Amino acid sequence: MSKLSHTDESGAARMVDVGDKTATKRTAVAEAYVRMQPATADLIRSNSLKKGDVLAAARIAGVMAAKKTADLIPLCHPLAITSVTVDFIWASDSVIAVTATVKVDGKTGVEMEALTAASVAALTIYDMAKAVDKGMEITNLRLMSKEGGKSGLYSRPIVQEDPK
């Protein structure tokens, strides 16, 4: 079994030293689903919730979260992110897929930044709509792909899932 990168010889947690690594273009894509009542989805689609434009707020929250990942995850490196996009697709009448894409020219990857962006965007959707639907669920937070760096390309095998 390979040694974990975030532990030293004695097993103590440590930040990985990336000082000698070569900077490369790196990209990561993560997604999460938010399941809700169809009536809640209709309110979001029609921009009828009292708190305002749910998806605009969630998009900004996701971008901000990606930039703050090193403040939230103790062993993450602060990165000079070059791009963050947060997109939404209605997977069904009551499920919205949140996709976050993060890019950097750097010495370490942006998987955690993409995962953080997707999760905070999903949490913002929940926060904006919880007054009408406390039963919403945030599910399937996962890395979809990453490229760049020594380990190269990773792409999650595509499996057709029922978003309901």
Task: Calculate the alpha carbon distances from 146 to 27, 60, 86, 103, 161 in Å.
Answer: 5, 22, 16, 10, 21
SS3 154: strand
- Among the options 8, 87, 93, 127, which is catalytic? 127
Of 140, 146, 42, 69, nearest in space to 101 by CA: 146
Of 68, 51, 67, 14, nearest in space to 5 by CA: 14
CA atoms 116, 158, 136, 58: torsion sign: positive
Known catalytic membership, residue 105? no
Query: What would the two tokens of residue 128 be?
Result: 């904006």
Could you say which DSSP state residue 3 is in?
Answer: P
| Residues with active-site annotation | 127
